[in-house]
Amino acid sequence: MIETISVHVLRSVGGFSGVAYAATKLPWSSNVQISWTLAIISFALWFLFDRTMHGFGLALLISFIGTIAVYVVVAHGLYSFGHGDIYGVRTWVPVKPVVIISNIRLLNPAINRDLLSTFLPIFLPSAYYEYDVVVIGGGPGGYPAAIKAAQLGLKVETLCAICQIVACVEKRGSLGGTCLNVGCIPSKAMLNNSHIYHQTKHDLGSRGIDVGDVNLNLGNMLKAKDKAVTGLTKGVEFLFKKYKVEYIKGWGRFASANGIEVDGLDGSKTTLKAKNVVIATGSEPTHIPGIEIDEKKIVTSTGALSLEKVPEKFIVIGGGVIGLELGSVWSRLGSEVTVVEYLGAIGGGLDSELAYIDRSLSFHCFLFNSKSFTKTLTKQGFKFKLNTKVNGAKVVDGKVKVDVEAAKGGNSETLDADVVLVSVGRRPFTDGLGLDNVGIEVDNRGRVVIDSEFKTNVPNIRCIGDVTFGPMLAHKAEDEGFAVAEIIASGHGHVNYDVIPSVIYTHPEVAWVGKSEDEIKKAGVSYKVGSYPFVANSRARTNDDTEGLVKVITDSETDRILGVHIIGPNAGEMIAEAALAMEYGASAEDVGRTCHAHPTLAEAFKEACLLASFGTAINF
């Protein structure tokens, strides 16, 4: 508090002396007259511009102190306003540089920053920061962190309280990161539109809708994807302007713990000084040694979203989320899709045993596991080579030759494709970030090491999102962005890593949150399971989309929900209710006794909770 008051006293004195200097041009004969006359003007001006920062009382007190100070200085001859003084202030007191900024900051914040950069470090080199927070990376973790920091009104408690609060440095030239530009968003646009195309071509007739010949216009489909991306990136830019976050287009790297050198996309070079820095640089596709990516024939997810024509044969290396989703897109559009997976199952975190109810009215039960999921996709045209290792891939005469063999050794074979998608995971992106310049610690997988408050081993530098620990998910990064801003502002933030949902946007969709049954078994926890099939759900039957189920796993003693796994229509939307229930410690009975609208798919979650809690459901 004392520091804050002293800062504003200094600013007040500067403000008054600045006005007094301007008034020396007036035909008045006495410095004392000038001092007293301008005291009233100075008080009014300072009160108008600055009183909102700390309230009326403090504004009045500081203005009074400043007025007396000006009178003492001028009236007793301690200082005179000579025309030879630079900015009207002798070099022994750092007043004028402050008042220049104070008087114009409402007109041009950029000038404030330039003037601060010029003058303030001379007088207060250890206390000067240009920004309170600089975020490196404008993706799903970085841009929410920047906006949240601005919303929280972070201030630097030095003379730089009038600086720009938050800046975000982004190398791409558009905000939103991989997710918005070449990941989550464009892939969902393609998944949605390819599903509509496939349904129109193959399914509408059975629903009583005759549409005649259906033709694919891939160019327009890609334009629709790009339109969605552009609209959302522009939306983030608008939010930056709304909350006064400075958007800096360029590559940022550490010059020091508080200094960020930026190579602008326009060729400019600048250095930002920040009190706090947040690393949110995301991830990049993992490459397979010996396979050269050209984004035309051998592509990452980025290239797979912009193919100019539908490939006749499309090979996916990796049976995880990205591979299955993009494989679904091109399968629906007419490609023969083959998935090559090193492991014996697809789907990543898919629960190994989910009870599935047949679509028939007999309600015959059998297991729905990753093998059954594979069968579901096989019916859609997928081919799978599981337990298979890829040794190499190269382009020969316009075709891609992929050399594979059994994962545990065996005969090799060569697969032919028009396009090959390499989707074997992602790795943290830190190239050119200058981590070595400040000694930031990374682990053997290239992840930035952080503590529970996102701090690196350099205390003022924090890290969130794909570039550090945890699942590489946009919504996980977003939550960390909120939390890191709150921690910087108040010391408190929250992310519950036990309740991070995951979704595979195939059809049917697959979604899960919390623990799988295998994990709970290994932990030795006594549990109960409730599984409810969509074939028994009214809305699913009206939509003729009944494949899948909801599985709820609870603690057998407390009835608390430990995990939820859904395979079926709109699973990605339904998992949000499960995450909410788990976040607030709801029991299965709590959900089962909560009224759900009818007919809705969400009723399947309610019924599964009733089964887990009581062993019976109403409609099954």
CATH superfamily placement of domain 502-614: FAD/NAD-linked reductase, C-terminal dimerisation domain (3.30.390.30)
- The CATH number of the structural domain formed by 298-424 is 3.50.50.60
What are the φ/ψ torsions at residue 397 (nearest 5 degrees)?
55, 45
Q: What percent of the chain has pLDDT over 70?
A: 74
d(CA 278, CA 217) in angstroms, rounded, equals 43
> Would the CA dihedral through 174, 177, 181, 186 be positive or negative?
negative
Query: Per residue in 555-588, is it b (16+ CB within 10 Å) or e — as a string?
Result: beeebebbbbbbbbbbbbebbebbbebbeeebbb
What pLDDT shows up at residue 173?
87
d(CA 92, CA 523) in angstroms, rounded, equals 69
3-state secondary structure 448-498: ECCCCCCECCCCCEEECHHHCCCCCCHHHHHHHHHHHHHHHHHCCCCCCCC
**70-74, 117-121, 254-258: least confidently modelled range:** 117-121
- State how beta strands 419-422 and 313-317 pair: parallel
What pLDDT shows up at residue 9?
47
What pLDDT shows up at residue 343?
92
User: Average per-residue pLDDT in the chain?
Assistant: 83
What pLDDT shows up at residue 44?
60
The whole-number average pLDDT for the span 565-590 is 98
d(CA 148, CA 151) in angstroms, rounded, equals 5
What pLDDT shows up at residue 64?
60
d(CA 252, CA 177) in angstroms, rounded, equals 15
**42-56, 90-104, 134-148, 176-190: least confidently modelled range:** 90-104
Amino acid at 585: G
Q: What is the pTM of this model?
A: 0.79
The whole-number average pLDDT for the span 338-362 is 65
pLDDT of 369 strictly over 60: no
What pLDDT shows up at residue 521?
96
C-alpha dihedral, 454 to 177 to 432 to 155, nearest 10°: -50
Q: Are 317 and 327 in contact (CB under 8 A)?
A: no
Distance of CA 430 to the CA centre of its chain: 16
Q: What percent of the chain has pLDDT over 90?
A: 70
- 298-424 and 502-614 agree in CATH topology: no
- The CATH number of the structural domain formed by 131-285+428-438+463-490 is 3.50.50.60
Structural domain boundaries in the chain:
2-107, 131-285+428-438+463-490, 298-424, 502-614
pLDDT of 483 strictly over 70: yes
d(CA 21, CA 35) in angstroms, rounded, equals 10
- Any idea which residues carry the catalytic annotation? 598
